[in-house]
Amino acid sequence: MNDFLLGFTYPFRSLKFFFAHPKLLAYSITPMLINLIIYGGIFILSYSWLINNIEKWLGADQTDAGFWLEALHVVLLVLSFVLLLFICYLLFVVLGGLITAPFNEEISQRVEEIVTKGTIQHKTGFWEDAYVSIKGEAEKIVFYLVILFLIFLLNFVPLVGNVFSAVIATIFSFFYNALDFLDYPMTRKKMKFKEKLKVTRSGKLVTYGFGCTAFLLMFLPIVNVFMKPILVVAGTSLYYEKNYHLQS
């Protein structure tokens, strides 16, 4: 349990590291703005459209709308909000991850240089880094969507399917979010995807604690935009501090 708590609190302890190095903050501005436009634009426009149309579909905007109609309107708004959060989370993971991959790679490189005191040399250029990081991001996204689809199929198992799928989806989300932010130094090493999975699993409860916090922060609207660069810092730092790199 101590290992889980260590992983769980690691992103918050990384805040001091993040703000102690102004260059990391400078590198984070561009991906923050990109993600803010992507996430904020999709969420605000979609929810505004839902609010207006749900009210019209139900007729709740009429002066003679009854109590039950108003109650149904509130319930649908809440359900729409939760569903939209989930959809935006998926888009944030998929679209935001691909677009900001080169920028997050730059942040991770700077962290690696600081943590290893420059003992690990990285000599490729920006465009090669961009290609490698986007390719690595695409591999993760395919893995993520395939596993989500398989978990979704569990819902069709009678009686226990919904419970199993919810539990497995939660555990998988923790693991994937840990993989997502531990991945940057592994991608620079040009590790195969199977090796990345093995290294991420080697952290055991630390991995799942870190992934739990990363998942919760990534699910929160707007908060996720500002926390993602910090999670990139935390993932790279954790990779070396807890010797994930010795498992590769």
If one counts the domains in the chain, the total is 1
Residue listed under structure tokens 């996720």: 224
Residues 42-76: pLDDT tens digits?
778 887 787 777 767 766 556 555 666 667 767 88
H or E element that contains 95: none
Domain membership of residue 72 (yes or no) is no
Domain membership of residue 212 (yes or no) is yes
Q: Which residues form the domain of 119? A: 2-33+89-247
Residues 214-240: pLDDT tens digits?
999 988 878 888 999 999 999 999 999
CA distance 67 to 149: 39
Residues 178-203: pLDDT tens digits?
999 999 999 988 899 999 999 999 99
Q: Taking 90 as the threshold, does the pLDDT of residue 243 lie above it?
A: no
pLDDT value, residue 156: 87
Domain membership of residue 79 (yes or no) is no
Percent share of the chain, pLDDT over 70:
89
What's the predicted TM-score (pTM) here? Answer: 0.84
Domain membership of residue 229 (yes or no) is yes
Dihedral angle over CA of 146, 227, 200, 3, nearest 10: -130
Instruction: Report CA 18 to chain centroid distance, whole Å.
Output: 18
Task: Please report how the helices 67-91 and 41-58 are oriented relative to each other, as an axis angle in degrees rounded to 10.
Answer: 160
- Please compute the mean of the pLDDT values over residues 78-93 and round it to a whole number: 80
What confidence category does residue 146 fall into, taking pLDDT thresholds of 50, 70 and 90? very high
Domain membership of residue 44 (yes or no) is no
